[in-house]
């Protein structure tokens, strides 16, 4: 099943921004339709503001201001993408996910944010997140196998 078909009529938590923006050889073909649908407003996605902090590190460290700006534009201006602030409710839920699943804080924030925004699916390539039962976790690598 193609990734867009799987995500149709859902709200998806996070999206693999680095794979798309930096045109990752392995996953760009898979995530490109997701970002096209977000840009067209035919897919709704949410991510935490922590995403902005995470994706800007390397471009800033490597003095790549154009790449940093591209991340800002996609995260802040995509029609179908909402950047969600870390509220006290999200922080509480983050702690619950860290306790229950031994997640790293950024991952727990992303899951908590997605659920707070009523997302039904979470798109990632982190196999560790498959253990989460509160949301359907989709791995990019599963869709990569379909392309072969």
Q: How confident is the model at residue 111 (pLDDT cuts 50, 70, 90)?
A: very high
Burial of 142 (0-12, 13-18, 19+ CB in 10 A): middle
Going along the chain from its start, the domains and CATH numbers come out as 14-141 (3.40.50.1010)
Q: What is the pLDDT of residue 146?
A: 63
Q: Convert the pLDDT of each residue in 76-110 to its tens digit.
A: 998 999 999 999 999 999 999 999 999 999 999 99
% of the chain surpassing 90 pLDDT: 70
For the chain, the first-to-last Cα distance in angstroms comes to 13
Q: What is the mean pLDDT of the chain?
A: 92
d(CA 50, CA 76): 12
Classify 27 as helix, strand or coil.
Answer: coil
């Amino acid at each position: 099943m193609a990734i867009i078909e799987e995500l149709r009529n859902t709200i998806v938590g996070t999206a693999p921004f680095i794979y798309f923006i930096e045109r990752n050889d392995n996953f760009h073909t898979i995530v490109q339709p997701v970002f096209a649908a977000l840009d067209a407003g035919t897919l709704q996605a949410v991510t935490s503001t922590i995403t902005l902090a995470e994706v800007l590190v390397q471009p800033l460290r490597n003095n790549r201001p154009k790449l940093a700006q591209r991340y800002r534009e996609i995260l802040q201006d995509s029609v179908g993408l909402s950047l969600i602030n870390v509220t006290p409710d999200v922080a509480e839920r983050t702690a619950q996910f860290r306790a229950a699943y031994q997640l790293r804080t950024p991952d727990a924030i992303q899951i908590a944010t997605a659920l707070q925004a009523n997302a039904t699916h979470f798109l990632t390539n982190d196999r560790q997140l498959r253990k989460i039962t509160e949301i359907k976790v989709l791995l990019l690598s599963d869709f990569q196998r379909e392309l072969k």
